[in-house]
Every structure is written in C-alpha cells, then in structure tokens.
Amino acid sequence: MVSAGLDTDVAVIGSGFGGSVTALRLTEKGYRVTVLEAGCRWDPGSLPATNWNLRRYLWAPRLGLRGFQRLTLVKNIFVLSGAAVGGGSIVYANTLYEPLDAYWSDPHWAHLSDWRSEYTTYYDQAKRMLGVAEVPFTTPSDDVLRGVADDLGVPETFHPTDVGVWFGQPGVRTGDPYFGGRGPDRVGCIRCGGCMTGCRFDAKNTLDRNYLFLAEQAGAEVAAERTVVDVLPRCGGGWRIVHERSGAWIRRDRRETSAEQVVFAAGTLGTQKLLFTLRDRGRLPRLSPALGSLTRTNSEAIVGATARRVPDTSTVEDAAPRGSGHTGTTGEARGYAAGVAITSSIHPDEHTHIEVVRYGEGSNAMGLLATSMVDGGGRIPRALRFAITILRRPVAFLRSLQVRRWSERSVILLVMQSFDNSLRMIRKRGLFGHRLTTRPGHGEQNPRWIPVANQAARVAARRIDGDAVGSVFEATINVPTTAHLIGGCPIGGSPESGVIDPYHRVHGHPNLHVCDGSAITANLGVNPALTITAMTERAMALWPNRGDEDPRPAPGSLYRRLDPIAPRAPVVPSHAPAALRWDACRTEAAGRTRTSNPSDDPQG
C-alpha cells in the first residue's frame, strides 16, 4: 500500500448507485473514502414542488440551472440522467427489477462465469438495502395498462412493480425500518406521483437515505458540486484527482485530492467522457481500445397517450394491502398522476417489457418533449412523415402542444428490450471543442423506434379517448430517447474485449475501477438501478479489508469465483433487515474457474 502521505485511500468519482455502494462497503472495510460529486446536495425541503421550477429541476450549471435532471443530446440518442448527491436516485422512478433472462446468456460475458448464480446473493443484499417492496395499490394508469395487456393478448403478464419506497402509513413518520436504528426516519408514501421530481415527503429510498447516508455516518467524506477534470499518476504511487466547482465560468476553485485507488462511478456518460479525456491526454496509455464499445440504450423507447380531459377520479384505491400496513385512500393526486412513478408492468414478449409511468400533479414541463406519434422505418424520412401527420391530424397536433394538466391526463409508457443491439461511443473534436458522439456498434442496429411500443401507445390512447404521443426527437430527427444509457466500459477477460476485468479493475491500470452503469455489458430489458447496485455490492465484497492480502487473482490472470470478504466493521447491525448476509452466499470456489483469455472471448 502507498497510502502514506495521501489525502485518502479511495477516491470515488460520482455518488450514484455504484458510487454510494462503494463508499459504504469500503468504509466498512477500513478504507478512508472521499466521494467527489458534480451535483448538489438535496433534502426534502429544498426539492422543487414541480418540474416547472427549472432552476431547481434541470442540471445545466453553466446556464445557472442547478437541479438534478440532466438532458443530453448525443448523435443518435437523447439521454435522461441524474446529477446530485445520491446520483440518479434523486430523480429515478424507484423501480428495482432483476434483468430479463437474455441478459445472463449474452455472449459478450456469459462465458466468464455462471453470472446468474454468482449474483443471486448480491441482488438479495441490494434489495434489502434499497428497501424494495411491491406496489400495494392500483391506480387509474394501471387499469389502462391492464387493458393494453388484454388487447395485446398478454393479460397474464400484468403485475405490480418492485420499488424502493417506504409505504407504511401514508404521511406518517416512523423510525428507521431497515438499518436497525442506524438509518434515517421514513415517512409513508402519500402517492403524489412526484418521485421523478425528488420526493419532498421522505418516502423514497434514495441513496442519501441508505448507502450514502450510512457511509457518511461511518466516516466517508462527500464533496458536493465538484466536477473531476483530470486524473494523473502520482510520483511514488497513487493518483492525483483534479476537480473544480461544477459549472463555474470563473473562480473555478480548482483543487487536487490524492488517492491510492480511484473508482469511476460518474454514470455512463460521465465515466466515458472522463476516460476518453484521460486517454487522449496520455494519462492512461494502457487503457483498453474497447472503451465506448457496447454502449446501449437498454433498447428503449418512451411513448404514451394523453387524454383530452382529466379522468373522473380523484383518489387512489388499494387493490390489495400486500402487507403495507394501511388501507383506504389518500386523494393526494388526481387523474393519471396518482401513485408512485411506476406502478405496474406487462411483457408483450420474452424480450419486451412495458411500464406505466407518471409525473406528479403540476409537473407538466416534460410534456413539452412530447408530440404526435410517428412511426419509423420505410423510405419516407421520418421528419417528412411527421409533417404529413400534422397536416392530416392538425387538431391532434395542436392538442399535443397543450401541456396544461398534462401529468394528470397522460399515461406514459416506458418500453425496454433485451435484444443485442449497441452503439459505439467515440470522442470527436468539433467546432466548440471535444464532444462525445456515436456510430453503429456491435449487433443489431440500435432501434430508432419500437413497433410494439407505438402499438401499445395507440391502444392506450383508444382506451382513454386521447392521442398517442412520442418523443419530439424521434418525430423530427429520428433520435430515440433513453433514461437508461448503459455500457461503454464492458467487462471482458482481456483488454481486447473489455475495459474492465470481472473484478471491475481497469485493464492496464489495476488501481482504477469502474462501478456504474457503463460496466453493464448487455441490455437488461428492465430499469438498471438494481443491477448497478448488485454489481457493485459484488465488486466491493471481493476487496480485502484495509491492510489484508488481496485474494483476487493478479490482473490479467484467469477469472476465479471468490467468496465475499466480510468487513471488519459493518455499519448495519446483524439483527436488522438490511444486514449483510454473507452466509447465504458461501459457495465452493473449487471448479469455478473459467478461462478468460482472448482466444475464448467472442470479441478477442
């Protein structure tokens, strides 16, 4: 170890699902941990009431917008992501699913291990830490989605979502129910639908209420509004991490933090952007040429239907309490805005997953990104087809421009698939400096539209006497929208096939690590938050306690499945629901070695 004279043992860039898990688990193992987060710190009292408060909702700090919702237009994709202490958990839709089956058999990584078996215990741990519960009520939007399932011939696939929300007694504060009294109080969900503008009622189990909260209690340091701009090798070992005030034009307050190890957890866009920059500056000469490969949109489309008027309902009724501890109604939101952000799912086929989504009452700003639905494909350019649609249905187009009470009138459908399609992210010099852009990647072409998604939206529109809508970027420039950009730093057995090894160490630079959505190698077909959490739980479980011998094979060696290493000072008491349960995951290491040399790797 070279920690003497360093500011910290481990610097973590980003505080999303990967960064927060890293901070807690390594602090428990005795490491000094410093987290550098570009976004702001929030609490229930400082969050915006609706997303019309753009200064507190959108993250574009150079424009004076210091919220938490980042919107990024890259060639061929429009990306929604988060920036905050707690990362995307502040703005995400709470939904915590395990991947569809195709994820585990994807050829880019399936040959390295029996991943489904290996990850089982880490998904269990992640669910208990994030407080996963099944939604215990139905909403008007769920009734619409159930009808869509009927019309698509898959009524049996309808089911409520698993979400990271404390339901409890609506509006009632209770002592920490997860961490044996070490965590913060929780307040029962009032079903206002405002999850994606930040939960102002303290019911949403964001990372600053679990992993990151506990990490800070245990001694981890979190520096907010600090954007990392450089990472340089340090004479004598370790790294110098250069960071400055986020969004500053002047008075950037540039500082350095020295660390033995660096974990990149800045999200798929943030981590790729930083690694590309470091590569091109010559900081990381041995970085894998696979950087940017297998960047995926989760094969995603965001569509929906908007009714002409708010449905005649003002309450949310319990379908079945399912152990939530309450009955009755709350009346906290009207129309399709009532509930939590995502309340139910259907599966039109084995590769496709559709969720019903909502914003809270009054949060209508995102309606500005919706317009009349236009199919893709064919010989006619999509923009021309959009113009024809406007001419044929001018009244419907004008209705799409009206966002008054949009959240109460709209049923949003998030469609995800597990097909093997991808983009290749590259860094390119442009008129205003370097930027990330894309080109076609491995596998099928990344979909610019998903036929079953548009079909579902039109079915929903008929059921609510409304209009089918899609993204304005799809309609005008043929660019799909994704809220779940993943990949770009894939796991591989060699530098030729992956940026990181199966232990999440960067090939060629073993004191660097990647633990965020960019490390997901295949399309999930579901929301990625739980997988990022479980993936990082596993990666951190294999680190030694500070000062102990590292059991992981030397970089470049064959992969071996290892038992997790329990921390010397676990934060959560053993009797608590979210306590570490390593005994449940002990496995025989013998016989589990898989070859991972380039000749056995499909990309090698």
Crossing angle of helices 529-541 and 17-28, rounded to 10°: 30
Is 326 assigned a catalytic role?
no
| Residue 284 CB neighbour total at 10 angstroms | 21
CA-nearest of 213, 139, 207, 128 to 162 is 128
Element (H, E) at 19: helix 17-28
Cα 179 → chain centroid? 23
DSSP secondary structure letter of residue 550: P
> Helix (H, G, I), strand (E, B), or coil: what is residue 574?
coil
In the chain, the N- to C-terminal Cα span, in Å, equals 33
Tokens of 584: 């449940």
CA-nearest of 506, 477, 502 to 76 is 477
Q: Which of 347, 351, 484, 509 is catalytic?
A: 484
Tokens 């044929």 correspond to: 392
CA-nearest of 530, 134, 101 to 344 is 134
Tokens of 142: 């769920």
Give the C-alpha separation, 186 to 170, whole Å.
11
CA distances (Å), origin 556, targets 291, 307, 503: 17, 57, 11
Q: Are 148 and 141 in contact (CB under 8 A)?
A: no
| Residue 584 CB neighbour total at 10 angstroms | 10
Tokens of 38: 């570009």
Residues known to be catalytic: 484
